[in-house]
Amino acid sequence: MFILGRKITKKYFLILGVVVLAVFLVIGLNGKEKKEIAFVVRADLIQEVNITGKTKARDEVDLGFDIGGRVARSFVEVGDYIRQGTLIAELDNTSQLALISKEKAVLTEAEADYKDQGKNIALAIMDGYSTSDNAVRNKVDQFFKQPKENPQFEVKFDDGNFTHYFKVPSEVALELNTTRRSVERLLNEWKAELSLVTPDNAGQFSYKAIERMNTVSLFIDRVAYAINSFAPAEYQYESTVTGYKTAVDSARSTVATAKKSISTIGGVEAKLSQTKSSVSSLEADLYKTRIVAPFSGTVTLQEAKVGGIAKAGETLISMISESDMYIEANVSEINISKLNIGNIAKIVFDALPEEVFEGTVVFIDPGETIVDGVANYKVRIELQKMDERIKSGLTANINIETDYMGDALSIPIFAVTKKDGKSFVKKIEGGEVSETEITTGLIGKGGIVEVVSGLLEGDRVELDLK
């Protein structure tokens, strides 16, 4: 009988040989003609796809310089194993190093200035808040009723027993009332934030201080516009109006001066930031004169020779990683439908013929590759356990288990003939041979096919070995 299992040993092959002798019998039919027959037996069927592939490094890279120049130093040779980040070669970069040294000196000076100015910036921010607070709450709030709780723009003064009100359009008053409420929130938030300002971090607070003072200045400008809109009939109170205008102008002037002070001192930070950017740019240019290993691996090409002229973008160094290898193989269109991601593969390398490695199908190319006029599909197989003896470019013979059927009725595939898309066997019963239609299923390795219907266990069939 046929016995197919997942683990095959030398002892198993001996047993299988005896079984095969028992199943494939040479007998005489009617004492004249000799035929080979087989019994229908139960067996475990394994379907496999057999292919050949090559190992490849997971990472392969060609390296060169981003700019042209003369090679000044080279540190590796072909076959060297190098770690990620290792300097491989560099161009003559004397001029770049000199520029960086000069700009770093400027940076050191700018950092010192910034540190010295930190205290001044912090004081200027404090003064900016005080000035804004005074301008709004002491100078402008005289034109509002309940300015902090429920601001209402209202300009009036008493003339003996008579109270005079200066009129402004209702939409202007409404806008001023809304803006005054937002300015009140701004001043409260600013005051709470002042406790966080120190000489070391004052620069980052300076921009927000200027932004807040711009808001305050805009508010004061709107108040000035409202006061300047008083009707000519009210010119009898010109001296009073002039006093109002003077108060508003004073408020605007003090805020503008305080804002300018912060901006002037804050220029030190701008210089520092600009110098840092300049140093970073020069260091980026310096990096272009160097080739650095992007990952750990082995050098396979080294054309960066000291004294030689390198062109921008020219490949001078090649590397492959050796920590991770995979196998790439082509599978014919006939077998590709049998494969699935996750299929287990048994692998034997020509370089290591006595050992069997295990792998897993991890990628199946959705598009075909034409090889000798036949559609093939690239398949990637990852080794389940790496071995330092496995190098890039090794030939791998791969058996991929694609299906399994346990305890299935089975016969040799060469007992089956095809007619009009149907399957038939020559069934032997009582010394007579009859053509019997069957339904077949999984085709396993070793030329064994599953019998789905048409035969029973123990039936005998004639083999067609022509």
pLDDT tens readout for residues 249-298: 899 999 999 988 887 765 666 777 788 889 999 998 899 999 999 988 88
Residue 142 has pLDDT above 50, yes or no: yes
Q: What is the pLDDT of residue 113?
A: 72
Which of the residue ranges 75-89, 232-246, 328-342 would you say has the lowest mean pLDDT?
232-246
pLDDT tens readout for residues 232-252: 455 566 777 778 888 888 999
> Is 256 within 8 Å of 217 (Cβ atoms)?
yes
Q: What is the pLDDT of residue 27?
A: 43
107 band by pLDDT with thresholds 50, 70 and 90: confident
Q: Which helix (H) or strand (E) holds 385?
A: none
Instruction: Tokens 């409202």: give the residue.
Output: 226
SS3 308: coil
Helix ranges (H only) for 194-304 are 202-228, 238-287
Q: What is the mean pLDDT of residues 150-172?
A: 80
Q: What is the pLDDT of residue 170?
A: 87
201 band by pLDDT with thresholds 50, 70 and 90: confident
Taking alpha carbons only, the member of 458, 422, 459 closest to residue 437 is: 422
Provide φ and ψ at 366, rounded to 5°.
-70, -20
Q: What is the pLDDT of residue 229?
A: 77
Q: What is the pLDDT of residue 110?
A: 78
DSSP state of 135: I
Q: Which helix (H) or strand (E) holds 129?
A: helix 94-134
25 band by pLDDT with thresholds 50, 70 and 90: very low
Q: What is the mean pLDDT of residues 339-345?
A: 92
pLDDT tens readout for residues 405-461: 889 999 998 899 999 989 999 999 888 899 999 999 988 888 899 999 999 999 999
Residue 75 has pLDDT above 80, yes or no: yes
Q: What is the pLDDT of residue 317?
A: 94
Residue 84 has pLDDT above 60, yes or no: yes
- The residue ranking higher by pLDDT, 261 or 70, is 70
SS3 61: strand
Does the pTM surpass 0.85? The reply is no
Q: What is the pLDDT of residue 167?
A: 79
pLDDT tens readout for residues 146-158: 999 999 998 877 6
Residue 133 has pLDDT above 80, yes or no: yes
Bridge partners for 378 per DSSP: 330
Taking alpha carbons only, the member of 141, 208, 233, 221 closest to residue 181 is: 141
127 band by pLDDT with thresholds 50, 70 and 90: very high
Provide φ and ψ at 229, rounded to 5°.
-90, 5
Cα Rg of the chain (Å, integer):
45
Domain 60-86+289-320 adopts which CATH fold? OB fold (Dihydrolipoamide Acetyltransferase, E2P) (2.40.50)
Taking alpha carbons only, the member of 245, 207, 197, 209 closest to residue 130 is: 209
Taking alpha carbons only, the member of 379, 381, 364, 383 closest to residue 322 is: 383
Q: What is the pLDDT of residue 22?
A: 35
Q: What is the pLDDT of residue 141?
A: 93
Q: What is the pLDDT of residue 158?
A: 67
SS3 247: helix
Q: What are the distances in angstroms from CA 68 to CA 94, 289, 291, 313? A: 14, 8, 12, 8
- The residue ranking higher by pLDDT, 464 or 231, is 464
CATH number for the segment(s) 10-58+324-462: 2.40.30.170
The overall average pLDDT reported for the chain is 84
Same fold, 10-58+324-462 and 60-86+289-320: no
Q: What is the pLDDT of residue 236?
A: 60
Percent of the chain with pLDDT over 90: 49
- State which amino acid sits at residue 325: M
| Burial readout 197-217 (b: 16 or more C-beta within 10 A, e: otherwise) | bebeebbebbeebbebbebbb
**Domain boundary assignment for the chain:** 10-58+324-462, 60-86+289-320, 97-286
Percent of the chain with pLDDT over 70: 88
∠ Cα 300 304 306 (to 5°) = 140
28 band by pLDDT with thresholds 50, 70 and 90: very low
Q: What span, in angstroms and rounded, lies between the C-alpha atoms of 338 and 361? A: 12
Q: What is the pLDDT of residue 346?
A: 94
Taking alpha carbons only, the member of 217, 297, 300, 299 closest to residue 252 is: 217
Residue 4 has pLDDT above 50, yes or no: no
Q: What span, in angstroms and rounded, lies between the C-alpha atoms of 424 and 435? A: 6
Q: What is the pLDDT of residue 268?
A: 67
Q: What is the pLDDT of residue 328?
A: 94
Q: 314: buried, middle or exposed (CB in 10 Å: 19+, 13-18, 0-12)?
A: middle
Taking alpha carbons only, the member of 4, 435, 20, 431 closest to residue 455 is: 435
Q: 292: buried, middle or exposed (CB in 10 Å: 19+, 13-18, 0-12)?
A: middle
SS3 366: coil
> Is 183 within 8 Å of 247 (Cβ atoms)?
no
Residue 30 has pLDDT above 70, yes or no: no
> Is 63 within 8 Å of 74 (Cβ atoms)?
no
Q: 327: buried, middle or exposed (CB in 10 Å: 19+, 13-18, 0-12)?
A: buried
Q: What is the mean pLDDT of residues 221-232?
A: 80
